[in-house]
Amino acid sequence: MKQNKEFELNFLDITSIIWLKRRPLIIVSIITVILSSIFSGPFFIKPKFKSEVIFYPTTINSIGNAMFTDLTQRQADPLAFGEEEEAENALQLLNSSALQGRIVRNFDLMNHYRIDSKSPLTDLAKKMAKNIQFKRTRHLAVSITVLDEDPIKSAEIANGIAILYDSVKTEIQKQVSLEALQIVKDEFKNKEAEVWDLRTRLKELGQKGITNYEEQSRAISEELYKAVSQAKINSLKKQQNELAKYAGEFTYLNETLILELESLSKLRKRFEKAKVDVEKTLPQKFVLTSASPAEKKSYPIRWLIVLVVTAVVTFSSIVVLLINNRKENLLDK
């Protein structure tokens, strides 16, 4: 009860002090509002305009696999929106040195941000981190947000980064695709040479009269069964022995050729897919929102600055008044 009474008295003391000093407090608050309004104005803090691009990355890494594979075997749909993994990959690419360097060069950011210091790269990185942001939305899309003093430039940079994302990702894929194409091409050429060699050897056997061992062997056996004269039998047996001499080689070459032709057919499909990956391109993103020049500034939020500064100064003034009052009371005692 006593504590409540002391609290009530203290609260009454505080309110009475504030009431007695209301004029200086009001004056301080008014001055603070005026000064914070002035110093948060465009003369001291340059206003910035925000532009934003929102897109979904695609799920496609290989056009050949996406377009020329059976639906039941496809790992990705070329028209499907990317999910968490694709969004994270997109953010990694947007923050990569390859793309960041392109942004700096394409928009001449060193001059645009008026950077002229002993550590220009460090200052440029800080400026870019402050004015250009990439993040994943809660719906797994990717947003590119740009703040700039020029609303047109802000939109231009945001849209330009989205275009650069497409081109840089395509270039990376092309680089890998070219290497893959060369590997598949070499394998395909080697396999063609192997098939040609097998066919040449079978052709040589054909010139010796061995064209189809099984059918020829069966035909000779039937002729032997029907033969009556000894001369005919001897002639057929001679043909049979000659045929048997090449039976193993013919069977091996023929069966190997069948397997190699099947392998060559698969390599041809892989080769065609690899060529498509090198020669054709698909968009790397689905744009949901393109950037356009903002009509109103996004930074600074002037009313919020005035409100916060005024609240802090007013509260500080009250604390100072209470401390002074406490000192005066102690001196009187």
* pLDDT tens sequence across 146-202: 999 999 999 999 999 999 999 999 888 888 888 888 998 999 999 999 999 999 988
Clarify whether residues 159 and 245 are in a common domain.
no
Indicate if 53 and 195 belong to the same structural domain.
no
Q: Phi and psi (nearest 5°) for 41? A: -75, 170
In a domain? residue 264: yes
pLDDT at 102: 94
Domain shared by 176 and 57, yes or no: yes
Residue matched to tokens 């406490």: 326
Same domain, 50 and 140: yes
Q: Are 100 and 128 in contact (CB under 8 A)?
A: yes
Yes or no: say if 314 and 28 are a contact pair by the CB < 8 Å rule: yes
Q: What is the pLDDT of residues 288-307, one digit of tens each?
A: 999 999 888 877 667 787 88
Q: What's the pLDDT band for 118 if we cut at 50, 70, 90?
A: confident
CA distance 32 to 107: 40
What per-residue confidence (pLDDT) applies to 5? 47
d(CA 326, CA 14): 11
Q: Do 112 and 260 have their domain in common?
A: no
Residue 132 lies in a domain: yes
Does any domain span residue 82? yes
**Structural domain containing residue 231:** 188-279
The rounded distance, in Å, linking the Cα atoms of 54 and 159 is 10
Are 228 and 202 found together in one domain? yes
Q: What is the pLDDT of residue 30?
A: 87
Entry pTM: 0.68
pLDDT digits (tens, 9 = 90+) for 229-261: 666 666 666 666 666 777 777 788 888 988 999
Query: Structurally, how many domains does the chain consist of?
Result: 2
Identify whether 209 is part of a domain: yes
Residues 133 and 104 in one domain: yes
**What percentage of the chain exceeds 70 in pLDDT?**
75
- The answer to the question of residue 87 being in a domain is yes
Question: Are 171 and 205 contained in the same domain?
Answer: no
Indicate the SS3 state at residue 72: coil
CA atoms within 13 A on the CB side of 152: 0
